[in-house]
Structure 1
């Protein structure tokens, strides 16, 4: 499929896969279950008026969502007295009691919700996973001054893979116990100030290993022999390594976890932070190119990168696999260029002779080569990069990549183009409101076909996706003669992958572009950790997402129309994916039928 450049990368990766851990197997995955005090037995008493119950439930939920806690309270009390088998109503009651400082009652209600399970979303101050409910219970105990009970429930939540451990110490509800040593140890904020520099790094290494064991959904992940060997070697080498080299060693450890959603962000720490070259790389089918640069290096945009130091680019790309755990090899195309722009990574992979600068060989359009030396600069991590707007000519798909979602209608051909760049809510319009607007546009606008562009979308909050999926299904029902296209690629990851999987299952969409960046069923989520002494920040994948059928073992979702990004199209401002879609419509090719 790809050119010789990427064939070389694949060849090198064949070797690298011998020592990179493979994705976790399903039988090793542990379930995230609630921890209830006792089993809940279904109620046998009849609800007097099911219609009244339903109306009260709808009204109570609306009151909670509008934060009218005092008005919601009696209605939720009425609901839980009348019918005790709905975890959602107990959950709403517990959250309401917390807002009204009725902590004893809140604990009772939340424990009841925990025993039943909760499925509500879009609830202020709430989060439905059982480990989040446990944190609410711990907070209620802390507010009552019951330190031991608060720490006990914090410990339960952490054992259930609570993924925001690093933020617990900053939650106001725990202010009254923040000086308690057990609380500090549980939240990962305890620091022994008598430790030396090397002892502090050893303590951070121990914490990292414990967080991998606690968070990773594969309970055997921390027993990976390669991971243990790397950790032992790193421990021995700490006295002779720089802070940055130690962080790189930790990145090598994370690399052995073998699936996406595992990485270290080496820019947020108190020490050991990495730098970045003043250029951005992107892997097209015809090679790795510089697609963006700081002002003084803008003349390098459009140059092909042929080597890092003495190492050809394809080999350099393959080496990055050592620190890039992934769901499939599309993540190599996506993230390897990002890592290759860090001098500390280049030095760790032996692609550079210096820790803060690098030599790269570039080639211009006339095949003239030159070697340049670039120095790393401090930077802020703002998410993994997407293909930037072309400095000369930008097609539609590159013009609003920072906006989570937007659309426009081309009345000349009836195409409703929807770009969905992040699974996140906009302050001015929720995704549900946006989806409702799309439905109205389909009903009353001049819409014949719909294009959903997911090329820049690497995920977010998957719980907000259903309204958009419903809008796409509505389009197919309302416009049976129309065609639904979805454009996807290497960046289509995490929650965006979940949406793509559902689209693939429930619609007849024509998929256009590259294979997706993850699997239909994948290990995901983002269990955050922050090492106590260095402040190094990272993620460990903490949940398994079975979005497709249990037997779906695809490594990605493949396009029905393969359209791979090439440098010529990009630098000339051409969108080859939309060009292919226009061709389908011009030729009136039938869509897929499932």
Structure 2
């Protein structure tokens, strides 16, 4: 939700008066900020350091000779210098980090050196051991009972990897991590990163219908068809079998299933398919039901995020050259600018400002400060009857980017009706901003329920598993946006006071709406503002 402390550093190590030897090997632990710890990983041998799984920084100066057990090092963070001082007790370093304005305790422990695995089973077992020994230590979203249940499930998985396919191990590992019940705690497979294969079609839920919204040229005759079955399973059964590969509420499960139901690897791992090399579908096209087989594309592992909602937008430049169901000229406003993190339009006839905020991330082409000035100018130049803020597709980023926008416009729009549009992809910082609009502008909510609750664990960082190359993400900062109090989780990383984000009116785009280029969610918001003014 918020990027961790940006540390692009020059690190200076000083070991002085210390025991005979400097620390060697890789050490890992936490800077124990009570709001949100930062995991620090230091390799004293190669002189590299990383924070919360970010890219490591090279330590440019060698360690000095030492004569006692004190260890000191410094990290240059822009104009700030972070000073670490610790004492070594065997395989543990304990001390404090001084930021110049405050001191924060930290610790480091020597990580065991892993031998080269003998065979596939041992490689998976080493990866599972990393999840048990390191990941579970850093993620704060698990209750004690859920943590123990996860540990037990991982131990059970560890014992049977030699009898399971790689795909089945991957899915079971993801399900074990998801026992936290927290949607930010996850094994990266799709969306944030791409670690499994997909077929060259894309799908989206319209009510209870799963429609093919784009496809490669060879499967173009499937565009618009309704998927009714996968393999030997009907659609509801197949959907239930891929639920909880990631944690999350019903809305988030719908959003994530648009990925999972197009991956033969995950469908095979979840027991939906007997073979990961083809995806048999039952589809209904123009009233005719037929069976088709779609073949997966080669795997292209990537750390670049991919959003499922992009598949709805005909203007989005698909890497795989997929053809969209909707013509560009028919796209309604919410699908016109998938390439923009934020944009605004004055709707003249109803005298309403429509602002879409798709990603909580600064745009170099228009920094947020410039955007705020432009939106404010729009409000000043027109006699406005209301403001609509669309965060249906905002899956997160850095909430600090959009907060000034909320603060400026909430003050400027006092007395005006404000409507926030939410959807299944409203997640993380998207939820933060919906809640802020609700609290500071008394906004109404229209659309689908958001992709998470008001109270959630976020922030955190990543751990790379040594053999599979998969990444687990731990969460360690608590966001309390509801009126409920959580004494055990204080101090909160972020705090609001909102009764609910349940939509005042639930509206979902149907397939016929989409095919016609209509947006009933926006229409409902406009009607609400007209009624209020």
CA distance in 2, matches of 1:267, 1:278: 15
Is residue 483 from structure 1 mapped to residue 417 from structure 2 by the alignment? yes
Is residue 227 from structure 1 mapped to residue 105 from structure 2 by the alignment? no
Gaps of 5+ in 2: 41-49, 64-90, 94-107, 315-325, 486-495
Residue 345 of structure 1: CA displacement? Answer: 1.5
SS of 2:396 mapped into structure 1: coil
CA distance in 1, matches of 2:430, 2:509: 20
Equivalent runs, 1:330-409 vs 2, <5 Å: 330-364=251-285, 366-377=286-297, 378-379=299-300, 380=302, 382-386=305-309, 387-390=311-314, 391-392=326-327, 393-409=330-346
TM-score relative to the length of structure 2: 0.75
Q: 2:39 aligns with which of 147, 162, 166?
A: 162
Is residue 171 from structure 1 mapped to residue 49 from structure 2 by the alignment? no
Deviates more, 1:335-344 or 1:154-163: 154-163
CA distance in 1, matches of 2:59, 2:384: 50
Match of 2:11? 139
CA distance in 2, matches of 1:385, 1:189: 39
Match of 1:78? none
C-alpha contact 1:260 1:541 (8 A) present in aligned 2: no
| Higher strand content, 1 or 2 | 2
TM-score relative to the length of structure 1: 0.68
Describe the shift of the 1:383–1:255 C-alpha distance in structure 2 as closer, same or farther (beyond 3 A): same
Is residue 300 from structure 1 mapped to residue 222 from structure 2 by the alignment? yes
Describe the shift of the 1:230–1:153 C-alpha distance in structure 2 as closer, same or farther (beyond 3 A): closer
Describe the shift of the 1:219–1:426 C-alpha distance in structure 2 as closer, same or farther (beyond 3 A): same
CA displacement, residues 483-538 of structure 1 (integer Å, 9 cap, x when unaligned): 22211111111011011111111212221111111112212224212101221123
CA distance in 1, matches of 2:422, 2:440: 17
Superposed CA RMSD: 3.7
C-alpha contact 1:165 1:188 (8 A) present in aligned 2: no
SS of 2:180 mapped into structure 1: coil
Q: 1:545 aligns with which of 479, 494, 511?
A: 479
SS of 1:218 mapped into structure 2: coil
Equivalent runs, 1:41-120 vs 2, <5 Å: none
Q: 2:198 aligns with which of 269, 276, 284?
A: 276
SS of 1:519 mapped into structure 2: coil
Q: 1:289 aligns with which of 208, 211, 215?
A: 211
C-alpha contact 1:486 1:511 (8 A) present in aligned 2: yes
C-alpha contact 1:141 1:149 (8 A) present in aligned 2: no
How many residues align? The count is: 450
CA distance in 2, matches of 1:496, 1:289: 25
Describe the shift of the 1:555–1:531 C-alpha distance in structure 2 as closer, same or farther (beyond 3 A): farther
C-alpha contact 1:411 1:446 (8 A) present in aligned 2: no
C-alpha contact 2:199 2:264 (8 A) present in aligned 1: yes
SS of 1:455 mapped into structure 2: coil
Describe the shift of the 1:548–1:294 C-alpha distance in structure 2 as closer, same or farther (beyond 3 A): same
C-alpha contact 1:320 1:336 (8 A) present in aligned 2: yes
CA distance in 2, matches of 1:148, 1:545: 40
Q: 2:441 aligns with which of 498, 507, 516?
A: 507
CA distance in 2, matches of 1:296, 1:577: 33
Describe the shift of the 1:301–1:269 C-alpha distance in structure 2 as closer, same or farther (beyond 3 A): closer
CA distance in 2, matches of 1:464, 1:431: 7
